[in-house]
Amino acid sequence: MHVWVEVRLSAVRVDLQSNTPVLLLTETEGVGRTLPIFIGAPEATAIAFAIQGVAPPRPMTHDLLRDIVETLGASLERVRDHRAPLRPPTTPSST
């Protein structure tokens, strides 16, 4: 049985050990578990631009996909990742 957990983007950071950008998705209800997703630098830049309201000089791939979905009169309601279990928050005593 699957239990779906709603998450929101809580941060875009750089993992200091690997120097790799990482998205932090935090559940909206419950104990505040976080799902880290390691991404590429171009994706991190695109997300940071979108959060800050900065328009890129030309449309990016995800912008084109959004425009197609909107032109078709559709919308994206949710994204489901069947592979990614959320882990409980870590505390100094649990590591």
Task: Extract the runs of DSSP E, i.e. beta strands, from 41-86.
Answer: none
Pair 44, 52: CB distance under 8 Å:
no
Closest of 60, 57, 44 to residue 11, by C-alpha = 44
C-alpha R_g of the chain: 16
Tokens representing residue 69 in the block: 């979905």
DSSP count for the chain of H helices, then E strands: 2, 3
Closest of 95, 91, 93 to residue 31, by C-alpha = 91
Give the pLDDT confidence of 38-54 residue by residue, as tens digits.
999 999 998 988 889 99
* Whether the predicted model's global pTM rises above the 0.85 cut: no
* pLDDT of residue 84 exceeding 90: no
